[in-house]
């Protein structure tokens, strides 16, 4: 079952839906996560306490997609 999370970076808040992957489940279990965000171009990224091998990896993601590496 998909689960919704809320991500806040500065004064920007977005809701996101986690898929049903093992990685998404591990992220869900690690919530709440507080981290210092970095910006690269139009991307906001930050470290989280979840470390897994690649799962359904893609070279590029769509606008609004969440990614992990």
Residues facing 44 on adjacent strands: 39
3 CB-contact burial (10 Å; exposed 0-12 / middle 13-18 / buried 19+): middle
Grouping H, G, I as helix, E, B as strand and the rest as coil, residue 32 is coil
- pLDDT above 80: residue 65: yes
pLDDT in tens, 14-55: 999 999 999 999 999 999 999 998 888 988 888 999 998 888
User: Between vectors from CA 10 to CA 6 and to CA 16, what angle results, nearest 5°?
Assistant: 20
């Amino acid at each position: 079952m998909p689960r919704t999370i809320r991500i806040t970076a500065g004064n920007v808040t977005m809701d996101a839906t986690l898929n049903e992957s093992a990685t998404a489940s591990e992220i869900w279990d690690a919530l709440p996560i507080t981290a210092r965000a970095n910006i690269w171009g139009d991307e906001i990224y930050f470290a989280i306490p979840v470390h897994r091998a690649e799962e359904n990896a893609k070279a590029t993601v769509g606008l609004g997609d969440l990614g992990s590496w």
